[in-house]
Amino acid sequence: MILRKIEYHESEGTPEAWAMRDLTLEKINLLVGKNATGKTLTIRVIDSLSANIMDRDFNEWANYNVEFSNESEKYYYIFNNDHEKVVFEKFIENDITRLQRNATGEGEMYTAEKNENINFQVPENKLAISRRDKLQYPYLEKIHEWANSVRYYSFGTPMKQDEYGKIFDNKDANHYSRSDNSVEIFYAGQNKFNNGFKETVLSSMNSIGYDLTDIDIQPWSYSLRKSHPRNYKLFAVEKDRDAIVNQINMSQGMFRALSIIIHVKYHVMMKIPATILIDDIGEGLDYERSTKLIKLLIELAEKSDNIQLIMSTNDRYVMNNVPLKYWQLIQRKGGECQVFNYRNSKEKFEEFKYMGLNNFDFLSTDYINSEWNKA
């Protein structure tokens, strides 16, 4: 199940109003655009959607119209907010309305056990879709599975380089599978695949230009109580000087690359469905390593049935090395963003391929030159 389409708006009627129109997603996507067009905000909107569905957060200004699908099923979900309360919510499975509610929180939803619609009422600031019951509402499970699969990484940040992994002796390695800490994910991978996980991470780091002979975790501090965690950190051994470099002393670029490879490799090897969101991919890496890392991530997503990859960048070198077929070109006019891609602007994309120019020129020259942008 992957996210196929998203339309979003917030704070309508105010100076802070912002809208994203017709973002149609594929399995692999690169969000591109000039500065301040909404790339990071789009990534966060997708992450926020998952948090809303899982009832981990409530964005009181958010309004979504989204589509999910796989080979045989299609789901539509709409909800509208009006400052601190939900005024409308609707869920459709294969053209059949399964859930609908109004501003009072009252509505109807289909129950599989009785094979009929039942009335319900939820608090005004709660989404009805957040209810889970595999017997009563099995049609909601795949949407919850998608929401639970979303992983958000901001590549331009330290990515927890200054934080240690907390390993408990009395907890199974599966406990760490949803962690956003690279040390804990590495520990979980090693427990599941033994040295096979280390070897594939090491091979990937070598393939993007880091000449390493070993990667592992080492203890930072111990606790005699099993109920207390032991603190661990990542380290790598550099071939040219046979020296151990722990995560604190790694370059930011090296740690970011290692961290994202650990997370993506883990999901691929575990066959865990995941929507991988990476903002500012390649930030802090030199041209060669940035290019190789992105090619590696695209290759992993292409070969995996369970990964949807959504990246953003403002780096011309990244754009030049990611095929246009993966591009989501964002243009902004005021508080409204429009997205152009192969699906909705195929003629323009195909035409540009024969111009002999770099991909970056497609953005910098405003080649798309849409009527929307000129209006």
Residue 227 pLDDT > 90, yes or no? Answer: no
Q: Assign 222 a pLDDT band (cuts: 50, 70, 90).
A: low
Q: Are residues 142 and 44 in the same domain?
A: yes
Q: Which of the listed residues 249, 268, 291 is the one where a domain comes to its end? A: 249
Q: Are residues 154 and 15 in the same domain?
A: yes
| Domain range for 198 | 162-249
148-173 per-residue burial string, b: 16 or more CB within 10 A, e: under 16: bbbbbbbbbeebbbebbbbbeeeeee
Residue written as tokens 């002796």? 169
Q: Assign 177 a pLDDT band (cuts: 50, 70, 90).
A: confident
Q: Are residues 44 and 171 in the same domain?
A: no
CB atoms within 10 A of CB 212: 18
| pLDDT given at position 224 | 47
Q: Are residues 141 and 206 in the same domain?
A: no
Residue 20 pLDDT > 60, yes or no? Answer: yes
Identify the weakest region by mean pLDDT among 47-61, 166-180, 262-276, 360-374. Answer: 360-374
Please report, for the domain that includes residue 106, its CATH number.
Answer: 3.40.50.300
Pick left, alpha or beta for residue 354 (phi over 0 → left; psi -120 to 50 → alpha; otherwise beta). alpha
Q: What pLDDT, in 10s, does the model give residues 285-324?
A: 999 999 999 999 999 999 999 999 999 998 888 899 899 9
Q: Are residues 134 and 242 in the same domain?
A: no
Q: How far is residue 83's CA from residue 88's CA, in Å, rounded to a whole number? A: 12
What count of Cα atoms within 13 Å lies in the side-chain half-sphere of residue 21?
10
186 phi/psi in degrees, rounded to 5: -60, -45
Q: What pLDDT, in 10s, does the model give residues 190-212?
A: 999 989 999 999 999 999 999 99
| pLDDT given at position 371 | 47
SS (H, E, C) the chain: CEEEEEEEEECCCCCCCEEEEEEECCCEEEEECCCCCCHHHHHHHHHHHHHHHCCCCCCCCEEEEEEEECCCCEEEEEEEECCCCEEEEEEEECCEEEEEECCCCEEEEEECCCCEEEEEECCCCCCHHHCCCCCCCHHHHHHHHHHHHEEEEECCCCCCCCCCEEECCCCCHHHHCCCCCHHHHHHHHHHHHCHHHHHHHHHHHHHCCCCEEEEEEEEEECCCCCCCCEEEEEEEEECCCCEEEEHHHCCHHHHHHHHHHHHHHHHHHHCCCEEEEEECCCCCCCHHHHHHHHHHHHHHHHHCCCEEEEEECCCHHHHHCCCHHHEEEEEEECCEEEEECCCCCHHHHHHHHCCCCCHHHHHHCCCCCCHHHHC
Residue written as tokens 């989204």? 66
Q: Which of the listed residues 214, 249, 284 is the one where a domain comes to its end? A: 249
Strand partners, 257: none
Q: Are residues 16 and 63 in the same domain?
A: yes
Q: Are residues 62 and 154 in the same domain?
A: yes
Residue written as tokens 């011309």? 316
Contact between 91 and 77 (Cβ < 8 Å): yes
Q: Are residues 343 and 205 in the same domain?
A: no
Q: Which of the listed residues 218, 249, 280 is the one where a domain comes to its end? A: 249
Q: Are residues 69 and 208 in the same domain?
A: no
Residue written as tokens 């995560």? 247
The total number of structural domains in the chain stands at 2
Instruction: Tell me the average pLDDT across 350-373.
Output: 79
| pLDDT given at position 220 | 74
Residue 369 pLDDT > 90, yes or no? Answer: no
Measured CA distances, 115 to 9, 135, 145, 191, 329 (Å): 35, 11, 23, 44, 44
Q: Are residues 140 and 185 in the same domain?
A: no
Q: Are residues 185 and 149 in the same domain?
A: no
Mean pLDDT for the chain overall: 91
Q: Are residues 197 and 342 in the same domain?
A: no
| pLDDT given at position 250 | 96
Identify the weakest region by mean pLDDT among 113-127, 240-254, 357-371. Answer: 357-371
